[in-house]
Structure 1
């Protein structure tokens, strides 16, 4: 297993207490991943500089004109994507910012290793409030479609379902055996991936367990949801494509040569984007499992990707302190 450069502690140090069993084998793709494409799918449009440490998290605004970034420099940055300039730097976190998300067009949410979730007013350029009470760091964040609620994946192996207006935790979802590294909404349901190698589906408001998605042989670092489909990226160097309704793995996408740290769907759900510690950005046709394009996108680990809501571009953020914009052709 390759190293994990952007995590601060080993599984034992983070409270690891056991593995999930791997008893589900997913079908392999019909075509070997990494095959040279017939034509380019994406091309580099712009590189954004100014991050003072590795980039750990990215999000694109609902209108596609701005982006949020968070990283080891403890700052939440708001970017004008067309001008390539920083609009604001939100300071206040006292440790790494591991997760950022938009809650509508004028509010941002960030979570970090300082055991807090912070809400920012993007228009006024100020912090609205701090949500405390976490027992360990906030590793991942997702915001509901209406911008009212958030899921926070935590180092204490739990998922918190939070009212962003009041800051109250409505539900604390348990069940994972290690750090909850990624979260996503699937309608009113909560999807969570963990360093225990599993993915779980629960009712967000009640915490009721529905099913798990088992089959990864390494940490689950990233998940993405589109309709009734799920993507996951893992330390086992694969991307898996799942049916949320049944828990069945529909495809295993192979081709990465190190940890897959980030995955995303395009808005139409036809394509998957993946990136990771091998420094490659890959574009996949999810139904066929074909890798359409592989790009050596950064000089170091790619920790995060974000696709614009209109599907025009994908952003990548790296340990090399840069953010890059790749336009779909």
Structure 2
């Protein structure tokens, strides 16, 4: 992926985040994201680059780090939500109190209308440095959601409205906001917390609309792709000795069904270009992408075996995608 130099003074608020912390920025082209990070996240990416090249296809491309002072920070507080039980919850995590930023490939770049699903991995969501009160808070979240039962939960979702916006059921409306400017339904982090292991398939239904025949065909293709990618991620991490607390699998596909079909035609007809002919400024359209993201609490731990905490979530995700794919194929 060719990335042009960018001017950090022109960074802007990143609008395609389905979950995560405040303070994420993007360059003018949209090809990269710049987000506040921990030193551990930088170290994790550097270790992957130097010692674990087999992980590179499954992570965003790492392009280094920046130090941005408060004058360069144009992030906005995304606010809070009042839930039905009277609890006040932030829509996103607080912006990290740091000037250190990591520069990464924007996984949603190349899509016209990206549908985005963030799946937070792990039943244990805190690392060894977490304070007792944080451990207790996150343990409560895990126990009350599919984080505990399945090893993952839906942390956020964005779906394009399209020509005929789907109706949001009454019982879900407190978790969903209409982004009129972008033309999306934005599902906040409380959406995923309402589902149990028994009804989690319903949590995915809004991400894979299947009203038209074109949408049904796309759902079958995208589900098959995601299943293969998640299994590949699972396989490679089964051979690693690592610990990743609160990492996520990010699933993205083209939400505009007409654009999806057009992109398929473009990709079928595309011919390999010589190096001299390649246009580095051209944005290659995409159909779907699946990456592992968010390594603020990640490290490699020699001698301690695979990360079964995160792997449980990967295996559960693969099981659910397979179930959804089987149903979609049966209904075809």
**Radius of gyration: which is bigger?**
2
- Length-normalised TM-score, structure 2: 0.27
More helix by share: 2
